[in-house]
Amino acid sequence: MSALKGKRKEYLTVKDLQKVLDSCKLHLNQIDEVWPNIFIGNVAVAQTKTSLLKLDDSTYFDLDVYFQPAADFIHKALKSPDGKVLVHCIMGMSRSSTLVLAYLMIYRHLPLKQALQKLIQKRAIYPNRNFLALLLDLDLQLTRKKKTCQIL
């Protein structure tokens, strides 16, 4: 039985991810290039309507339905000549970074923890607990999909 314990895969928790995020020593800027030609910024950088300022970051918002469409959009934009993408939200910390993390996981095949570590080298981000949980679900789905493809 103890041999099985040593081989059991340790799964990440939201608390583990928050520890990674807490290790970031960067100051929050209005905009940062977090991956080649991918920028995360706040609303001041991309503001087109004053109504954007009234938006709030809900801890219950189902952002995961936008993971694939946002990742597809970013991927398509970066494939075009001189393609660059600005991903923004009010503070440039939670929603925007969550969507960039989803892109890195889906198209760059980075595990969630590695994607987090890459981004916090470039920008002070802090996805809320709900978004971290949604990213953990995505990470698990992508890991399962990868294992299934390897078996086939």
**Strand, helix or coil at 27?**
coil
Torsion sign (Cα): 84, 26, 57, 65: positive
How many Cα atoms are found within 13 Å in the side-chain-facing hemisphere of 111? 9
Residue 122 identity: K
Rounded CA separation 59/133 (Å) = 11
Residues with catalytic roles: 89
